[in-house]
Structure 1
Amino acid sequence: MDFDGFEYRESMESVTGDNYSHKKMGSYPDVMDDVILSMKHNGLLNESEVSEFSCSYNPTVVFLSECDPDLSVFDINKYILNRIVKEYGNATGRELECKSHSEVPWLGVDNNERSPSELIFYHGTFNQIRDLNYCKVSGRCFVKTILVEKKLCHEYGS
């Protein structure tokens, strides 16, 4: 739900309160597996697999809610979730993977490492990032943003 961090930048707090870790397919909520297991156990969620292509592809995992969401847990400012669903709801898994892999919160950490929440402030700079250095010793982020050569050539004619 905190896919692009828009709500974090607007309110300085995460809608879900979750932390994210760097995973193969993109940033992943740390508690996601536990939540899915609990919801399935309580009959709130069904999970199925659909083979859409050849046997060389992993099947698509499809989750179907068995109940309506309780939106009362969100105050009026939290309806930003509608924006996120509208923005990303029809995206394919591959499109979401490409998007997340081009974002600083995923680029800035190693596999299975938790993404520091301050990296979300660099969302949307993925077309400008060529080098990203994260100092794990101090816990501070150092992001070097450099416009890609193509954009420089286009803007400055060189």
Structure 2
Amino acid sequence: MLKGLSKWKILNSKEVKAVVAAINWQWGCDFSFDGGFLEGRDGDIFLISRDVEKLDLERLNIESLGLYFGQMRNNELRLSIEGSQIVGKMAAKNVIETTDDEFRQWIGGSDLEKDYNGCSGYAILKHGSDFAGCGKCKGGKILNFVPKARRVRQ
């Protein structure tokens, strides 16, 4: 573990392979990343540049590091909005296209009652060329995980 990173764990190659395998399985894409992966509390996954090793982290009080990519739980990855934008461009399955009205509901924080056309588990929500995060397909609904602080008020 790097000094100054007591809140995070640097993922080893086996753990990185598990994250990449989850992406490949869930979204049918060939994902790769040249940087590093950190795991925070509750399975939060962050992407970082390998250049972070050049910093004197011992002298810094670090509250946040890298790009929040998603959260691993039960061998499934729930992508953040930014994670969906990275993976969504390559995804071959579990991508749900939304209408204008559905998109407004989604970014407002509402679950969507929508036929998810064979999607299972976590799906990426897309509107035109924009990716709006990841939701869980369950019981005829797509459950919304957009954080309250990131929701757009209507």
More strand by share: 2
Query: Which structure has the greater CA radius of gyration?
Result: 1
Give me the TM-score of the superposition, normalised by structure 1. Answer: 0.23
